[in-house]
Structure 1
Amino acid sequence: MSDKSDPVNKGDRNKIYFLVVVIIALLGTNAFLFIKDKKENERFATVSTEKDRLRLEVEKIEVELDKVNALNLTLSEKLLKEQELARGKIAELKAALQKGVLTQTELIVAQKEVRDLREFMKTYNEDVLRLKKENSLLKNERDSLKASANFASERASELEKRNRELREKVKTGAALKAANVHITAYKVKSSGKNIEVTRASSAKKLSVKFDIAPNELAQKDYHKIYLRVFDPAGNLIANENNMFEADGQEMQFSSSTSISYNDDNTTFNMDWINPNEFIKGEYSIILYADGYTMGRAEIMLR
């Protein structure tokens, strides 16, 4: 027998229960989907952030490699090969990180490769730093050797200069020097007899007599003597083909002869026949031996 006092019958009550269950199920589904979507968004944001971090890390590593090249070091074949491999890996990572979406697996692989690359750069930088120090030591050693070589070269040049000066002094000291130089004018008779004169019109030749000053350094041997004769106007009387060198320059001579020097107080004589007519005035002569001026003298002809 039904209860007439209950305004809601049993059928309506069941419908109400069913609606409540459906509402609860819908609410649960919406909550699940909301949470899932939130987690997915969070995961996507995390992946995106990690991609940016990895990309920045790769770019930093690339900059480090560029800095190594800016050092202008001569890298070994091993370091060049390692740098080439590293740049290849960087290119691969940059291409992978530019993809729109990375799976979790791809992200984990990229993270590992970046860590490996960072570890490689640590070792690579240590090797480059060691190479830089070695180069610095070699440069210092090279500079030191260069300085030593320059000092040795300068020292050798200085010694060579001093030796040249000493040789020049010895050579100068060993050169013969004339003493008691005297000039006599002669006319030559048809018989060949020489008669001393003082007049230019009668003179035909000049005879130069001289002694050699004692010199322990002078070589006791034959020495070439050169004579230069100047007329009263100061003109050299010489054959243009007669050349010799003395006092550091090449010059013409009027006559030459050889003497045997023995440091025995020998008096030497040297005759010169004028190819021209003598003129009134003072004639001067200069004697040379061993490349230096030996002595001078003058004679006045009326």
Structure 2
Amino acid sequence: MSANTPENRSNRKLLIGGLLVVLISINGILIYMNYQKKEKTEEQAEIINVKNSELENQIKIYEALKADFERQSQELQSMGLENDSLETKIAAITADLDELRGFRKRSYSLADQRRFRDRATAFEQQLKEKDAQIASLKQDNEVLFTENTDLKTTQTRLADSLTTMQSTNEVLNEKVRMASRLEAKNLNVNIINQRGKEKEDDDNEYRAKRVDKLRVDFKLAKNDVAKKEPKTVYMRLIEPDGAALYNLTTGSGTFQIDGEDMYYTAKRDFVYDNTQQPLSFTYDKNAAYKKGQHTVELYADGFLIGKTTFVLK
């Protein structure tokens, strides 16, 4: 019986057709599976991209928060204030930033995303509250600065006024001081010889060898400005060589004129009473007097109040 019968040929065609159908189906399934796999891979890649974008965005948010809290800290420091809570927040944000940057090398889960979003929201709220406090402090500082400026201006004006008053008072005091200056009138020098006799020469010329003591007489002129009080008058007896006679044993000493020490020959204390009271000095040198012109100067209250000369021949 021949194998290549019409029936066999027909069966072969059916088998080949079935195989083709199976192959086409398998190929279709493979194509679909590959599509599904590609689609899943693309979806996973998109998820990864979204996570990475979310992570980088969160890092930027935290960097901005850190910069704002540091700004607040600097603003408070510029006002002379310190806030430890700000330093604590900056340290916490820095730690969060370090953790967020670490997710670049490991999985950044949805739970992590929610956790950092919530913390960022809380930090943002704290940032707004602190900005409001700083704005209020700045406004208060501006008010205080204005008040302080006004106070300083007032103080400066008062100081200027006080300086002007002090200067005016100093001028007035100096005028009063000058006006209260005493004046020695009728200043006269007489000699007393060894026998105790006093001699006056109209020309104020005496023989040196006859002089034992000198007597200086004068009167104080009236002065209604000068205070009636205890005062001291100093006499300087200046010899021809320009030196003032000075002997501690006879009561000599020093006094000040214009801030400088000056030697005096003798002094006398008295109470000024504005009655043109007469005063006098009797001076014993206890040594021979030099020949030549001598000068007598009288001082009181820091002023030269009288001066005269006489000659010993």
TM-score by length of 2: 0.81
**1:140 Cα offset (Å):** 4.3
Gaps of 5+ in 1: none
Q: 1:57, 1:223 → 2: CA distance?
A: 88
**1:228 Cα offset (Å):** 0.6
**More deviation in 30-39 or 92-101?**
92-101
Q: Please, which of 102, 108, 121 is the counterpart of residue 98 of structure 1?
A: 102
- Contact 2:69-2:86 at 8 Å conserved across structures: no
**1:234 Cα offset (Å):** 1.0
Give the corresponding residue for 1:73. Answer: 78
> Deviations along 1:209-268, whole A, 9 cap, x unmatched?
212222111233443221110011111101256222344433221112234433333433
**1:14 Cα offset (Å):** 3.8
Letter in 2 for 1:265: Q
Q: 1:28, 1:256 → 2: CA distance?
A: 136
Asked whether 1:271 is paired with 2:279, we answer no
Per the alignment, do residues 180 and 298 of structure 1 end up closer, same or farther by CA in structure 2, a change over 3 Å counting? same
Give the corresponding residue for 2:235. Answer: 227
Give the corresponding residue for 1:32. Answer: 36
SS of the residue 1:188 aligns to: coil
Asked whether 1:238 is paired with 2:246, we answer yes
**1:67 Cα offset (Å):** 3.2
Q: 2:179, 2:265 → 1: CA distance?
A: 25
Q: Please, which of 280, 292, 302 is the counterpart of residue 303 of structure 2?
A: 292
Letter in 2 for 1:95: E
Letter in 2 for 1:17: V
RMSD of Structure 2 on Structure 1 (CA): 2.9
Q: 1:65, 1:220 → 2: CA distance?
A: 77
Q: Please, which of 250, 255, 267 is the counterpart of residue 256 of structure 1?
A: 267
Q: 1:120, 1:143 → 2: CA distance?
A: 34
Give the corresponding residue for 2:155. Answer: 149
TM-score by length of 1: 0.84
Q: Please, which of 44, 49, 55 is the counterpart of residue 48 of structure 2?
A: 44
Name the % identity.
Answer: 19
Q: 1:11, 1:166 → 2: CA distance?
A: 142
Count of residue correspondences: 298
Q: 1:102, 1:51 → 2: CA distance?
A: 7
Give the corresponding residue for 1:175. Answer: 181
**1:26 Cα offset (Å):** 1.9
**1:150 Cα offset (Å):** 4.2
- Contact 2:63-2:97 at 8 Å conserved across structures: no
Asked whether 1:130 is paired with 2:130, we answer no
